[in-house]
Amino acid sequence: MYSCWNFELHGRRLAVMEWGDPSATPVIALHGWLDNAATFRQLAPLLSGVRLIAIDMAGHGESGHRPSGSPYYIWDNVADVLAVADQLGVERFSVLGHSMGAGVAMMLAACVPDRVAQLFLIEGLAPLVYEAESLPRLMAEALSKHRRLERRTLRPYDSVEQAVQARINGRWPVSRQAAQWLVERGLERCPTGWRWRSDPALLLPSVVRLSDAQVEAFLVAVRAPVALVLGDKGIDPERMRRQLPLLADARLHVLAGNHHLHLEAGAAAEIATLIINSLRGSSAD
229 burial type by CB count under 10 A (0-12 exposed, 13-18 middle, 19+ buried): buried
In sequence order, the β-bridge partners of residue 122 are 98, 229
End-to-end CA distance of the chain: 31
User: What is the C-alpha to C-alpha distance for residues 24 and 156, in angstroms, rounded to an integer?
Assistant: 41
User: What is the C-alpha to C-alpha distance for residues 152 and 24, in angstroms, rounded to an integer?
Assistant: 42
Q: Tell me which residues are annotated as active site.
A: 99
Q: State the CB neighbour count (10 A cutoff) for residue 271.
A: 25
